[in-house]
Amino acid sequence: MEKKKEFYLEILHEDKNSHARYGILHTPHGDVEVPMFMPVGTLATVKTMSPEEVKKCGSGVILANTYHLHLRPGEDIVAKAGGVQKFMNYKGPMLTDSGGFQVFSLAENRNITEEGVTFKSHLNGDKIFFSPEVVIGIEEKIGADIIMSFDECIPYPASYDYAKDSTLRTLRWAKRGLDAKTRDDQALFGIVQGGDYEDLRKMCAEELVKMDFDGYSIGGTSIGEPKDKCFEMIDYAIPYLPKDKPRYLMGVGSLDYILEGIGKGIDMMDCVLPTRIARHGTLMTHHGRINIKKECFKEDFTPLDDMCDCYTCKNYTKAYLRHLYVSGEQFGARLLSIHNTRFLISIVEGAREAIKEDRFNEYKDEILKMYGDSRGF
């Protein structure tokens, strides 16, 4: 198929002691290695960072938000610019979500029906209607390489009956979105839902695979459920997803979740975590988590992380970074965001090398032991 030449996953090595795998994801805007951590650029920008800075951190795919770009500046403007890559000047592949997470996060301001979801805009109160067909139309205008099916991110906890009804509707929406898709140069992913119910996750995965999507996401995780529940939900879905297509775990950004996902066979992960916590002064380092606003860093003229190769650690001291943060200087948020973004990407780069050498489990244990507080935030 012609589409295969534009977008496909090439698995080059599978770790002998886990389900982790290394490969190349081929896209219309370039080839990227997996597994990968994807920085989030909600409004076609990774907060405080330039696209060039994100790229220098080793990014492959950047994620943008369909709901928010629909509100500002509008998909028609992005399309007139030549698509989201040209609009924001990012030289690499991009992905757009579908607004399914906003069905969860904006629960007080939305109404779900079989036809779709009516939102009340958080900006001005205007009514916004998203259906599977509307969402695909918006995503096609935005023009990312990878687009997501419209779904409901099921809240946790949810009753079995609620989860079942929602999952069946998500499957119907997935088929409608697939039928509405017109562009052959975009890869459409189906999203596995089902809450924390094993049979629903299995059913959803199997039905999506029958529809033959270009890739598959595992949704409804990392939304407040216990860690073991999140890992169970991954386990409930992965065995039923094809090995020759990418697997994307949505909304995961802490070290333990990232490494656990990779070990289970996940190829792609995203989260706002590295830049969000950076703006609050929290840094992930090879020596554990630190908060730069602490008094102990006032006269600390050493690098933030002596094991990190990012621009921040090569050029600035903890004392200066603390000064910027406590002074409210935006340059501080930028430098801290660069570090956290590079830190997570470098950890995943190390995971790729470990997979090639069949030592992923050892690498995972080393990283979590070194980091100490493995939550990552």
> Any residues with CB less than 8 A from the CB of 369 and at least 6 apart, and which?
none
Place of tokens 């590079």: 342
Measured distance CA(310)–CA(303) in Å, rounded: 11
User: What is this structure's pTM?
Assistant: 0.96
Q: Which pairing describes strands 146-148 and 127-130: parallel, antiparallel, or unpaired? A: unpaired
For residue 6, the model assigns a pLDDT of 87
3-class secondary structure, 28 = coil
How far is C-alpha 369 from the geometric centre of its chain's CA atoms? Answer: 25
Closest CA to 35 of 211, 221, 268: 268
Q: pLDDT 10s digit of each residue in the chain, 377 long? A: 344 458 999 999 999 999 999 999 999 999 999 999 999 999 999 999 999 999 999 999 999 999 999 999 999 999 999 999 999 999 999 999 999 999 989 888 899 999 999 999 989 999 999 999 999 999 999 999 999 999 999 999 999 999 999 999 999 999 999 999 999 999 999 999 999 999 999 999 999 999 999 999 999 999 999 999 999 999 999 999 999 999 999 999 999 999 999 999 999 999 999 999 999 999 999 999 999 999 999 999 999 999 999 999 999 999 999 999 999 999 999 999 999 999 999 999 999 999 999 999 999 999 999 887 544 44
- Residues facing residue 36 across a β-bridge: 268
Q: Which phi and psi angles does 98 have, rounded to 5°?
A: -110, -10
Give the N- to C-terminal CA distance of the chain in Å, as an integer: 43
- What is the secondary structure of 162-200 as a DSSP string? HHHHHHHHHHHHHHHHHHH---TTSEEEEEE--TT-HHH
Question: Domain 2-272 belongs to what topology?
Answer: TIM Barrel (3.20.20)
Domain boundaries, the chain: 2-272, 278-371
Residue 373 φ/ψ, nearest 5 degrees: -75, 95
The residues, ordered by sequence, that sit 6+ positions from 329 with a Cβ below 8 Å of its Cβ are none
Exposure on the CB side of residue 35, measured as CA atoms within 13 A: 36
Q: How far apart are CA 280 and CA 291, in angstroms?
A: 8
Alpha-carbon gap, residue 23 to 80, rounded angstroms: 34
Measured in whole angstroms, the distance separating CA 264 from the mean position of its chain's CA atoms is: 16
pLDDT at 367: 95
Pair of tokens at residue 5:
């030449």
Q: Which of 15, 97, 267, 305 is catalytic?
A: 97
Question: For residues 208 and 240, is the Cβ–Cβ distance under 8 A?
Answer: no
Residue 270 among the catalytic residues: yes
Length of the chain: 377
Query: What pLDDT does residue 4 have?
Result: 44
Angstrom distances, CA of residue 138 to CA of 243, 334, 372: 29, 30, 43
Per the CB < 8 A criterion, the answer to whether 164 and 114 are in contact is: no
Does residue 361 sit in helix, strand or coil?
A: helix
Cα separation values, 307 from 242, 249, 291, 314, 364, Å: 37, 28, 17, 10, 17
Residue 373 is predicted with a pLDDT of 52
Which of 214, 267, 270, 305 is labelled catalytic? Answer: 270
DSSP annotation of 303 reads B
Predicted confidence at residue 1, as pLDDT, reads: 34
